Structure 1
Amino acid sequence: MATTAPSLADSEPPLLPGSPTDSGTPAFSPLYQQIKGLILRSLQEGEWKPGEVIPSEFDLAARFRVSQGTVRKAVDELASENLLVRRQGRGTFVATHAEQHVQYRFLRLQPDKGTTDAEGPAQRDIVECRRARASAEIARALALRTGDTVLQARRVLSFSGVPTICEDLWLPGGPFKGLTAERLAEYHGPMYALFEAEFGVRMVRADEKIRAVLPDASQAALLGVTKATPLLSVERIAYTYNDVPMELRRGLYRTDTHHYRNQLN
């Protein structure tokens, strides 16, 4: 695809659109950060789709009229953020949730014995999926207006036949028009891979809040536990490029045979 790109000069880094502050004072950023922003914009606009190779560092340097070292630093940072994937001898690709090694990136629940891979994929039961009006709380989390259309779904994930996770999720109605309970049930890959493949929405990061809670009657029934069973509540807001919120998810996790595992750097 032929694209006319902004021209940048190594000697005098210009500002990206939107970088001046409200007071009109320029907010300068390192040149590689500006290149990173331009690459992110191309990703957001769908110039390069998940799983596709992006232009080489040489081509990007020519496109933006900067040095290859500047491009390399921008690409390195995007790779460290799991937005791009370098493959030796093949190039740099847009990361995708369809890849095996990232399928469990947002699922931190691990079996007490063995690994998630050894346990096999979760069995998924879609309890409901419907259109609804966003409450003030849901609208605030998804940067919508109260009353805007959202897609609300509930599902249960089981491992080795044991119901382990009960999830409620809300998605903005516009980007996910056409998503149904039937489509969620028949898709056998990761849900985020479905979102990027069929709706062009790629989740790139998430914020989570974790606490211990007791289930209500319906949640206890779905998970096969009593209302007195302590569960781990994980509330997540997932974002696409440029920190646009695209999903609110609230999950209740059984931890009698599993634990929540995170790696801190």
Structure 2
Amino acid sequence: MEPRNFLKIETVEKLEHYISTNSLTKNTKLPPERELCELLNVSRSTLRAALLELVDRNIIYSTPSAGNYVAPPKQARNLVGVNSMAKDIRNQEDSLTTKILSFTKASANRQTANKLGLDIHAPIYACSRLRFINQQPCYLENVFLSANLLPDFDQLYQEHTSMYQLFDQHYHKPPLTGQERISITYASSEEGKLLKVPKDTPLFFVSGVSYWDDKQPLEYYKALFRGDRFKFVSKITRNSYEKE
């Protein structure tokens, strides 16, 4: 490894340690560059290279003529469990709002019918919505629901309404289990415009089905998540001792 790269990596680690040990919260301003150079015992060029690395990793953000600030942490999407995304986000004390792009009653195509356990052309609701966290567009979601399973859903659901609350409290069909797949895709021009990212920006593509009992699908969804705002986590455990 080149000495310059080693110094940059070491400085990145020092800056991360500084942020962590001083419990700096989001939007907290970092000390001026001169002070950081003295504190970390590094040159100005090495410090700036490390700061750029942290900006690229969305750990800090830089404002021209104003300095460097701690970036809001990425939203953690739990891969284990079927809590609503809205609940997970609000548990992190962030503001979540919704813009409904379209909401229609349609006939299920072959793929949607298969995912929801319906006959082809069965009536469904199709909802496309853009979700904002702290007023920043962060993920784009398409949700498909059985109109027979959830009658009048189009009359009940609005931008300020929680789908999962309606599932639970109005229909008494809370999601209990689910399956989810994650891959990487790239933003189209239209998707980039909605999410405010450049065309071809890498995005998490998530699709899945949640069930309100062991066999009955409740919703089929497809979503695009900004990689700079989300991370996906899971807890791995070993259920029982296995002889190796």
Structure 2 counterpart of 1:137, one-letter code: Q
User: Helix, strand or coil for the counterpart of 2:178?
Assistant: strand
1:202 aligns with 2:180: no
1:261 aligns with 2:239: no
Structure 2 counterpart of 1:131, one-letter code: K
1:29-178 equivalence runs, <5 A: 105-107=83-85, 117-178=91-152
Q: 1:214–1:230: 8 Å Cα contact kept in structure 2?
A: yes
Q: 2:106–2:126: 8 Å Cα contact kept in structure 1?
A: yes
1:223 to 192, 195, 202: 195
Q: TM-score, normalised by structure 2?
A: 0.58
Unaligned runs of 5+ in 2: 1-80, 238-244
Structure 2 counterpart of 1:263, one-letter code: K
Q: 1:108–1:260: 8 Å Cα contact kept in structure 2?
A: no
User: Helix, strand or coil for the counterpart of 2:219?
Assistant: strand
Moved over 6 A (4+): none
1:247 aligns with 2:225: no
Q: 2:95–2:134: 8 Å Cα contact kept in structure 1?
A: no
Assess, with a 3 A threshold, how the Cα gap between structure 1 residues 262 and 143 changes in structure 2: closer, same or farther: same
Q: Measure how far apart 1:186 and its partner are.
A: 3.3
Fraction of identical pairs, as percent:
20
User: Helix, strand or coil for the counterpart of 1:137?
Assistant: helix
User: Helix, strand or coil for the counterpart of 1:243?
Assistant: coil
Structure 2 counterpart of 1:169, one-letter code: V
Higher strand share: 2
Aligned length: 157
Structure 1 counterpart of 2:133, one-letter code: F
1:233 aligns with 2:190: no
Structure 2 counterpart of 1:232, one-letter code: F
Structure number with bigger Rg: 2
Q: TM-score, normalised by structure 1?
A: 0.54
User: Helix, strand or coil for the counterpart of 1:219?
Assistant: helix
Assess, with a 3 A threshold, how the Cα gap between structure 1 residues 241 and 104 changes in structure 2: closer, same or farther: closer
Counterpart for residue 85 of structure 1: none
